[in-house]
Amino acid sequence: MNNYTLITDVTGDLDARTYEELGVVCIPMGFLFGETEYMHYPDEREMTVAEFYGKLRDGGMPKTAQINPLVYKSYFEAALKEGKDVLYLCFSSGLSGCCQTANMVAKDLEEDYPGRRVYVLDTLSASAGEGLLVIRAAQEYKKGLSMDELIEFVNEDLKHICHWFTVENLMHLKRGGRLSSFEAIVGSALKIQPILTVDTEGKLTVVSKERGTRNALQYLLKRLREDAADPAGQTIVIAHADCAEKAEALRQMVLAEYPRAEIRTFSIGPIIGSHVGNGMCAMAFYGARVGF
C-alpha cells in the first residue's frame, strides 16, 4: 500500500468516475457568474457542465478564482491526519498562481507535521494534457511506486505530453489576450479556428490558424500521426467544450487510422471553459520525443 495520497485539481477535466477509478483525490475550484460563486467538483454538484455552457451561450461572462489556501489545507491535512504524505499534481504555473499558493500551504503544513512531506509538482499542463498526465501517474501509483519514484516518473513524463487544441469561439481568446480584437472579428467572419498548444513553460500558445472545423481536426490528427509514440498502443485523451459532435468526429478519425488505440473522452469543465468558450476541442497524447 502507498504511504502517500495522490491529489490533483479539477482543471484536468476528468470525470468523477475516472478520479474514483484512479484512486486520485481531486480538489474543486471556484468560478463566478456575476456575484454568485460556484464550486466546480468532478461530480458537478453545484452546476452541471451543460448548465455552465448554456449560460455562456446566453451571454454569461464567468470569472474563475484560484484555489483558496484554506481549501488546500483541508485536502492536504486530511491525508496527513490519516498518516500519509501528499503528492499534489498541480494546474500549470504558466496559467495560474495555484502552484505558488499550494507551495505556501505545503511549507506551513510540513512545519506543523514534522517529518512529513507535502510535495507540489507543477504539471505545466491543463485540461486534456493534465488529465492524461494524471491518468499515467495514477497507473504508476497503483503499481506501488514510492513517492520519490513517482515524482521522478511524472517530471520526465510531462516533457512528453503533447497538447493540441482547436478553438471555435475567438472572443474568449481575445478576452485572454491571445488574439487582438481585429484578429478575433476577422477570424470569426472567415470561420478561422486557431490551433493552440502548451509550451515548455506551461503557457498557451497559438501555433496555427485553420479554416473550418474539418481542417482544424485534420491538423490535430496530423500532430498525432507525426509526433506520438506508438499511437495505436497508448491512451489518448480527447476533451471538448460543449461540442460532443466535434469530439466524436475526431475520435472516429483517430480510430480510422489506429483502431486499437484507447481513447478517453471528457467534457471540459467551467474552469478551463471560462477561458476558451464553447466549441474548444482538445487532444493529448504521449510524444515520441521531448520538446514539443
The per-residue pLDDT for range 70-85, each reduced to its tens digit, is 999 999 999 999 999 9
Q: Compute CA distances 41 → 3, 196, 266, 292, whole Å.
A: 25, 26, 14, 31
Q: Which among 262, 264, 265, 259 has a CA at the least distance from the CA of 245?
A: 265
What φ, ψ does residue 187 adopt, rounded to 5°?
-60, -40
CB-CB contact of 196 with 216 (8 Å): no
Q: Phi/psi zone of residue 117: left (φ > 0), alpha (ψ -120 to 50 degrees), beta?
A: beta
The per-residue pLDDT for range 94-139, each reduced to its tens digit, is 989 999 999 999 999 999 999 999 999 999 999 999 999 999 999 9
Specify the pairing of strand 192-198 against strand 161-166: antiparallel
- Per DSSP, which regions of 115-218 are E strands? 118-122, 161-166, 192-198, 204-211
Q: What value does the mean pLDDT take over residues 232-258?
A: 96
How many Cβ atoms from other residues are within 10 Å of residue 140's Cβ? 15
C-alpha cell at 16: 468523477
- Helix or strand run (H / E) with residue 55: helix 49-57
Confidence at residue 277, expressed as pLDDT on a 0 to 100 scale: 87
Q: What value does the mean pLDDT take over residues 160-183?
A: 66
The length of the chain, given as a count of residues: 292
* Torsion sign over Cα 142, 143, 149, 154: negative
- Helix or strand run (H / E) with residue 104: helix 98-112
Residue 178 banded pLDDT, cuts 50, 70, 90 = very low
Q: Which residues contact 5 (CB under 8 A, 6 or more apart)?
A: 25, 79, 82, 84, 85, 86, 87
Amino acid sitting at position 13: D
C-alpha cell at 120: 507540489
Measured CA angle at 136 (ends 134, 140), to 5 deg? 110
Q: Which among 36, 45, 35 has a CA at the least distance from the CA of 10?
A: 45
Instruction: Say if residue 180's pLDDT is above 70.
Output: no
What's the mean per-residue pLDDT of the chain? Answer: 90
Residue 187 banded pLDDT, cuts 50, 70, 90 = very low
Burial of 44 (0-12, 13-18, 19+ CB in 10 A): middle
Please, what are the domains in the chain?
4-157 (3.40.50.10170), 161-286 (3.30.1180.10)
Residue 290 banded pLDDT, cuts 50, 70, 90 = low
